[in-house]
């Protein structure tokens, strides 16, 4: 967990510019959230981040975590996914560019994959309609074929897990 995929200083600058442009206050807490998110370097929910930050000794409210994640998503530092259940899953946009997600509908097991054919497809679809593709988001909902490995099965709960 120590390798940080993104250049934290660069992210800080991106966030600073966004906050200034949108006239939001440049609070220390907001930047603390950004640093912790960069440290995590995986998918996480707002509640997981809240628990992680408090375990790390950061005194931060749940409301601040939620509102900061919203700001970080709006300035494209984070990507927000809705896999299943009620809670959104976040990850750093710079963490692993151009990957998509395969999610078991039953147990929530999630696999990240890269498929170059999809990149070619996104480009040709955008081109067909006179546009230039920037990014795409694809979620494949599936079922584990091997039921024995579908062990995270829960009922009605959001049980999205990361494969790392």
Element (H, E) at 1: none
Task: Answer whether 26's CB lies under 8 Å from 19's CB.
Answer: yes
Q: How far apart are CA 3 and CA 27, in angstroms?
A: 26
Q: Is 34 helix (H, G, I), strand (E, B) or coil?
A: helix
- Here's the x/- map for Zn ion, 36-75, by CB under 5 A: it reads as ----------------------------------------
Considering the complex, what minimum distance in angstroms separates the CB of residue 77 from Zn ion?
15
- Contacting residue, 15, 69, 104, 160, with Zn ion by CB under 5 A: 104
- Does position 6 interact with Zn ion (CB under 5 A)? The reply is no
- Does position 100 interact with Zn ion (CB under 5 A)? The reply is no
Look at strands 139-142 and 100-104 and give their pairing.
parallel
Residue with tokens 């494969």: 163
| Cα distance between the two ends of the chain | 10
- Contacting residue, 35, 150, 158, 162, with Zn ion by CB under 5 A: 150
Considering the complex, what minimum distance in angstroms separates the CB of residue 1 from Zn ion?
16
Residue with tokens 């990361």: 162
Residue with tokens 């750093």: 92
- Does position 106 interact with Zn ion (CB under 5 A)? The reply is yes
- Does position 112 interact with Zn ion (CB under 5 A)? The reply is yes
Nearer to Zn ion, 60 or 77 (CB): 77
Residues forming the site for Zn ion (CB under 5 A): 91, 104, 106-107, 109, 112, 144, 150
């Amino acid at each position: 967990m120590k390798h940080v995929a993104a250049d934290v200083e660069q992210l800080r600058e991106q966030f600073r510019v966004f906050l200034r442009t949108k006239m939001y206050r440049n609070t220390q807490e907001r930047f603390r959230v950004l640093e912790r998110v960069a440290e995590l370097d995986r998918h996480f929910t707002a509640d997981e981040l809240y628990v992680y930050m408090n375990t790390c000794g950061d005194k931060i409210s749940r409301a601040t975590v939620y509102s900061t994640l919203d700001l970080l998503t709006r300035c494209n530092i984070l990507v927000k996914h809705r896999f299943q259940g009620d809670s959104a899953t976040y990850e750093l946009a710079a963490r692993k560019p151009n990957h998509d997600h395969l999610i078991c509908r039953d147990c929530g097991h999630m696999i990240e994959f890269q498929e170059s054919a999809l990149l070619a497809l996104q480009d040709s679809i955008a081109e067909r309609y006179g546009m230039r593709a920037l990014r795409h988001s694809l979620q494949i909902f599936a079922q584990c074929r091997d039921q024995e490995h579908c062990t995270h099965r829960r009922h009605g709960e959001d049980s999205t897990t990361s494969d790392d």
